Structure 1
Amino acid sequence: MTEPPNAPAFAQGIQDRWRDTGFYRWWRLRVVSRVEHEAVVARVLGESGWSPRYAFMTMMSAGIAVLGLLLSSPAVVIGAMLISPLMNPILGLGFSLALFDFREMRRSVTALVVGAVVAVLFTALIVLVSPLRAPTAEILARTRPNLFDLVIALFASLAGSFAIIRGKGDTIVGVAIATALMPPLAVVGFGLATWNLPILGGALALFFTNLVTIALSATIMARYYGFGHRLSSQQSWTQTVLLLLVFVAMAIPLGISLSRIAREALTVNQVRSYLSETFGAQSRVTQLDVDFERDPIAVRSIVIAPRSRAVSGDTVKAGLIKALGRPLTLQIDEVLLDPHAGALDRQRAEVKAAEEAKDADAQGAEIARLVAIAAGVGPEAVTLDQGHQRATVTASVLPGATLATYRALEQRVQAVSSGWHIVLVPPFGDMPTIRFADGSDTLDQAGTEAVGLSAWAAQRWNIAALAVPGLPASPVDHPLLNARRAQAVATLLRERGIASVSAPAAGQSFRLAAAPDGGSGSP
């Protein structure tokens, strides 16, 4: 029986045969021998650790970056990269991996962690004191990492490593590396300050993707130029396998993300093409927004078209569903022009449509802000339906607040939200007590208010029926006082759209509760 080959000996044999090839001799002579390895290692590892200057420059770079993101200014964001010191520790990590130098690896990782924490906390502080807290296009662009981000980080790292090793242009490529790291860190700080978890999580994923890609790419470049050539064959094979596994593990989810982004872009193009074909060559799609986070997706568009090409919204929706092969909701505003209108009239119509869309967005943002204040939550927790002008939010627990308090808050926001329907869902709790005077089966003002408040709470909690103590099984006049009281309550509930089911009789005061499953609702 043949003995299995010894793995270290097998690897050593492969390495010996590799060293006998002409390519190996060319590589040693033309690539490795032209690099001053000791000087490069001393420079990289000497600048890869933490220092007060490093922390200060990281804070300044992060501060400039987050201000550029808040202002949606790419020029300011790029300017922040000129002073960022992040290239040194991350290249130090890459070279220490190539050299299997665990002491320097700890120094580099410590510097990276300190820099990341300092940058995130400093940017979060700036956002907290800034009046600008709305996510801009520059911020949102760094919350969905994909395969292209990995490739960008790979190219930046290869350029940075080459510049450091050959001593050419390292300042400029340092900017490229910082571009892949500092903006995502600033967005993490923004997400932390605004407690926007999707933005925080997306930016954090992008930062780690770039960090790992740059470090491992630096390791590859360092090994190519002969750093770590004294390592054993087993260590070299371990490096190779781990590098491949890490890149594959990152590439798969990032590739899926890129595929999703591509599908979304294709969907937007299909919607735009369909609208252009439907309304004719003389029409113009001036605004098109597709919300892929909703299920089904929500399409909103403004189309300027000749009056003769007017199409009903239902027809457009049916055609889009057929063209895309998926369900959707549609809000389309048609600006119809006389066919003989001149260019000036068309421009005025476009300006008017754009202003109306902008005003609608601004009004929606203001409604979200007011509703969020009333509910004790952030604006991102408010669900806006621009098409039906409806704002929905689940309120946080407010100390000492009752159901009446939450309804009053809803009514207060409703009073200043002209044209909008406000829905404030209170925290789940007991309904108010409904009281009857001794011997009376008539609800007074307080009792009527309690029934109305119970019906309001049931609607907000999506409860279709309430259990009414003492309600008879059939809705007929009943001589018992408890039954008459229950029927009076059931009548008020029915007027407010809430069904009633029977429950054990109570005295002159009781609370309503959600009907148990299988209850028989009164007509």
Structure 2
Amino acid sequence: MTTSNAEHGMVDTVKMRIERVPLYRWWRRAIVGSVDHQEIIERIFVDGKWSPRYAFMTMMSAGIAILGLLLSSPAVIIGAMLISPLMNPILGLGFSMALFDFAEMRRSLIALAVGSLAAILFTALIVAISPLQAPTPEIIARTRPNLFDLAVALFASLAGTFAIIRGRGDTIVGVAIATALMPPLAVVGFGLATWNMAAFGGALALFVTNFVTIALSATVMARYYGFGHHLSSQQSWTQTFILFFVFVAMAIPLGISLERIAGEAVTTNRVRSFLSKQFGAEARVTQLEIDFAAQPLSVRSVIIAPRNGARPVGTLQADLERQLDRPVQLRLDQVLLDPRAGAIDVQREQLRQAEHSAAMETNRISAVSQALAVSAGVDIDQITIDREQRRATVNAAQLPGATIETYHALEKRAAAQAEGWTIAIVPPQGALPSIGFVDGGDALDPAGQAALSTSAWAARRWNVPALGVPGLPRLPSARPNLVERRAQAVAALLRAQGIEAVPARTTGRGFVLTVVQGEATSSSLPRGPGS
């Protein structure tokens, strides 16, 4: 009993000393005292609960967001933000952690989980039935978290919490919070529908990072305004321990993401400093691009230096590897200028053109690589870039439900977004599309012509010089029947597209077209590479 009284006395003494601090008294009076805590708590927890209206509005917001992403329309995406209710359960989670209120935290988590799952499944359904399934720049932009995404989530959370507490413009800042959450959530649904693990994993990482940032920021802001465990009606040591564990568990993925982002920023600064030091004060590092996912680390830069300032790339690469203590692949474009005073104007123009050209080229290569990686469902380090020929190639992953036509359409979409580049997506080997004819004749119908074009494209991507054509005779016939005429028509069109046509049984590897002959003769079974 004496020990307990002594402990209480120590606590009271500490409280009295803290209350004597002028800054603490100002904070209690000006900040905490200006807020109606009970009214705000009731409003946040009522709005943050699950309800059919909340689930419906979340699904509608997600539906509009995925359509905006597929159309690459920022205006439509912003429209989705206006009706998104995601702010309420996340702020409810943040305040419940500040209050150490386990029951309200559980309700907020349930609402968030139900809403997120409904949004993902609804967007996946839309993508599955949509004719547009190729990744757009808006989708690609949300497949990898970075420092700017984290900053958006942080500022949106601080603004949203402030608006809720002070009762000013909470709807508008709700749009800002939805901006950090709803588009990544819609991209998760896109990745699920197309079975694109690169898009699925990247968007999910971005969503989790932003969600955790918003929740923890809301907790800190709530504590600043005096929302603490003394306001909770029910509190136990078990609840306190569980909530503390939840706080720490949520901070772990955020810490991992921050560590990665910070590590990349430090490495970028070290590389830039290294290059600046190696080329001297008169040189400029105008463009620096680092691919952290590549093995070894890929570093590409453009250096503007005096003509006598050239440096051997091999030596620089070895020194940079020692500096970073890891393998590096260094690619440098050294723009060497005349150091004479009489050539200053020319140098300035050369410098301007070189910087502009380097920046445009680097940005274009980065955009092409990202678009192609998401289209093919692979990591960005699996893209082969030929800068000289301006050609990008990738071996596509096997996407569930995807046909040869799907990969052909993906390549066309990627090529349209990469003007000036040659895009090559190599599809997994599979069955070639069926080739049909106009009824009763030997002329290909429009669908048959498209199927033949796709088959020739696939043969070029697989480096197959010849395709087998069912019914094609070894020797010309004076009076060919319908099957032979159709086979000859297919063969002629194939040769026009640079692919040799041979009788089906002579291909050796089974690269045989599927020619639908109609009711007059038996149709060949669908066949493709490896059959």
TM-score (norm. length: structure 2): 0.56
* Residue in structure 2 matched with residue 463 of structure 1 by the alignment: none
Q: Distance in 1 between matches of 2:285 and 2:70?
A: 29
How many residue pairs end up in the alignment?
A: 398
Equivalent runs, 1:485-500 vs 2, <5 Å: none
Q: Distance in 1 between matches of 2:33 and 2:60?
A: 39
Equivalent runs, 1:70-89 vs 2, <5 Å: 81-89=81-89
* CA gap 1:310/1:330 in 2 versus in 1, 3 angstroms: same
Identity %: 45
What CA deviation, in whole Å up to 9, does each residue of 1:292-316 have, x standing for no partner? 1122211122334444333332233
Q: Distance in 1 between matches of 2:47 and 2:75?
A: 28
Please tell me whether the aligned partners of residues 91 and 161 of structure 1 are also in contact (alpha carbons under 8 angstroms): no
* CA gap 1:330/1:222 in 2 versus in 1, 3 angstroms: closer
* Residue in structure 1 matched with residue 476 of structure 2 by the alignment: none
Instruction: For 1:344, give the aligned amino acid.
Output: E
Instruction: For 1:343, give the aligned amino acid.
Output: R
What CA deviation, in whole Å up to 9, does each residue of 1:250-300 have, x standing for no partner? 435533442332232222222223333434444443332111112221112
The counterpart of 1:139, out of the listed 119, 138, 142, is: 142
* Residue in structure 2 matched with residue 393 of structure 1 by the alignment: 395
SS of residue in 1 equivalent to 2:245: helix
* Residue in structure 2 matched with residue 291 of structure 1 by the alignment: 291
Please tell me whether the aligned partners of residues 305 and 334 of structure 2 are also in contact (alpha carbons under 8 angstroms): yes
Q: Distance in 2 between matches of 1:259 and 1:64?
A: 34
Kindly indicate whether residue 353 of structure 2 is the aligned counterpart of residue 348 of structure 1.
yes
Which stretch shows the higher mean deviation, 124-133 or 203-212? 124-133
* Residue in structure 2 matched with residue 413 of structure 1 by the alignment: 461
Q: Distance in 2 between matches of 1:242 and 1:136?
A: 37
Q: Distance in 2 between matches of 1:142 and 1:73?
A: 21
SS of residue in 2 equivalent to 1:318: helix
Q: Distance in 2 between matches of 1:226 and 1:105?
A: 13
SS of residue in 2 equivalent to 1:49: coil
SS of residue in 1 equivalent to 2:142: helix
Please tell me whether the aligned partners of residues 95 and 222 of structure 1 are also in contact (alpha carbons under 8 angstroms): no
What CA deviation, in whole Å up to 9, does each residue of 1:43-85 have, x standing for no partner? 3344333445434543454456567778999998777555432
Please tell me whether the aligned partners of residues 313 and 332 of structure 2 are also in contact (alpha carbons under 8 angstroms): yes
Instruction: For 1:386, give the aligned amino acid.
Output: I
Kindly indicate whether residue 205 of structure 2 is the aligned counterpart of residue 202 of structure 1.
yes
* Residue in structure 2 matched with residue 383 of structure 1 by the alignment: 382
List alignment gaps of at least 5 residues for structure 2.
399-427, 433-455, 465-505, 510-531
* Residue in structure 2 matched with residue 48 of structure 1 by the alignment: 48
* Residue in structure 2 matched with residue 504 of structure 1 by the alignment: none
What CA deviation, in whole Å up to 9, does each residue of 1:367-410 have, x standing for no partner? 879xx8xxxx5365882243697856376465569xxxxxx988
Cα shift at 1:14: 4.9
Cα shift at 1:199: 0.6
Please tell me whether the aligned partners of residues 162 and 221 of structure 1 are also in contact (alpha carbons under 8 angstroms): no
* Residue in structure 1 matched with residue 309 of structure 2 by the alignment: 309
* CA gap 1:270/1:94 in 2 versus in 1, 3 angstroms: closer
The counterpart of 2:165, out of the listed 162, 165, 174, is: 162
* CA gap 1:392/1:63 in 2 versus in 1, 3 angstroms: closer
Q: Distance in 1 between matches of 2:458 and 2:381?
A: 13
List alignment gaps of at least 5 residues for structure 1.
402-407, 417-447, 454-523
Kindly indicate whether residue 332 of structure 2 is the aligned counterpart of residue 332 of structure 1.
yes
Kindly indicate whether residue 212 of structure 2 is the aligned counterpart of residue 213 of structure 1.
no
Instruction: For 2:321, give the aligned amino acid.
Output: I
Q: Distance in 2 between matches of 1:348 and 1:33?
A: 60
* Residue in structure 1 matched with residue 413 of structure 2 by the alignment: none
* Residue in structure 1 matched with residue 264 of structure 2 by the alignment: 264
TM-score (norm. length: structure 1): 0.56
Kindly indicate whether residue 260 of structure 2 is the aligned counterpart of residue 255 of structure 1.
no
* CA gap 1:143/1:24 in 2 versus in 1, 3 angstroms: same
Greater C-alpha radius of gyration: 1
Please tell me whether the aligned partners of residues 289 and 362 of structure 2 are also in contact (alpha carbons under 8 angstroms): no
Cα shift at 1:202: 1.2
Instruction: For 1:205, give the aligned amino acid.
Output: V
Q: Distance in 2 between matches of 1:367 and 1:211?
A: 31
Instruction: For 1:251, give the aligned amino acid.
Output: A
SS of residue in 2 equivalent to 1:326: coil
Please tell me whether the aligned partners of residues 290 and 300 of structure 1 are also in contact (alpha carbons under 8 angstroms): yes
Q: Distance in 1 between matches of 2:308 and 2:324?
A: 26
Q: Distance in 2 between matches of 1:238 and 1:334?
A: 63
Please tell me the root mean square deviation across aligned C-alpha atoms, in Å. 5.4
Kindly indicate whether residue 245 of structure 2 is the aligned counterpart of residue 245 of structure 1.
yes
* CA gap 1:136/1:278 in 2 versus in 1, 3 angstroms: farther
Please tell me whether the aligned partners of residues 279 and 309 of structure 1 are also in contact (alpha carbons under 8 angstroms): yes
Q: Distance in 2 between matches of 1:131 and 1:254?
A: 30
Instruction: For 2:44, give the aligned amino acid.
Output: V
Equivalent runs, 1:277-288 vs 2, <5 Å: 277-288=277-288
Q: Distance in 2 between matches of 1:31 and 1:122?
A: 43
What CA deviation, in whole Å up to 9, does each residue of 1:303-352 have, x standing for no partner? 34444333332233223223333221122233444553343343334444
* CA gap 1:87/1:202 in 2 versus in 1, 3 angstroms: closer
Which stretch shows the higher mean deviation, 81-90 or 66-75? 66-75
What CA deviation, in whole Å up to 9, does each residue of 1:130-168 have, x standing for no partner? 6552466852553689997896687457535533xxx45
Q: Distance in 1 between matches of 2:254 and 2:43?
A: 34
